[in-house]
């Protein structure tokens, strides 16, 4: 009976090691995905940046504007 119980104990320990490794792997994968897909909380306030853009006197080439905008520029 002791040989059987020792064998069963060994098998359970082996399975526990495999389960622990699998759990750590899955936790690490989950944390990597979570950090990769994490979004910025809240909506940033862009009023200062918009003021700077409007105050800037730089003019852009019409072709450049046409290529970078989603609207139709003639």
Q: 12-48: per-residue pLDDT in tens? A: 999 999 999 999 999 999 999 998 888 777 777 888 8
User: pLDDT at position 71, please?
Assistant: 59
Answer whether 73's CB lies under 8 Å from 65's CB: yes
User: pLDDT at position 58, please?
Assistant: 77
pLDDT: is 71 or 54 the higher one? 54
N residues, the chain: 74
Q: How far apart are CA 22 and CA 34, in angstroms?
A: 18
pLDDT 10s digits, 40-60? 777 778 888 888 888 887 776
Answer whether 24's CB lies under 8 Å from 16's CB: no
Residues 6+ positions from 65 with CB-CB distance below 8 Å: 73
């Amino acid at each position: 009976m002791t040989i059987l119980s020792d064998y069963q104990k060994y098998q359970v320990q082996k399975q526990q090691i495999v389960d622990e490794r699998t759990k750590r792997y899955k936790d690490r994968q989950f944390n990597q995905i979570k950090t990769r897909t994490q979004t910025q909380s809240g909506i940033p306030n862009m009023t200062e940046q918009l003021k700077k853009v409007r105050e800037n006197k730089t003019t852009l080439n019409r072709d450049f504007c046409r290529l970078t905008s989603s609207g139709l520029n003639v």
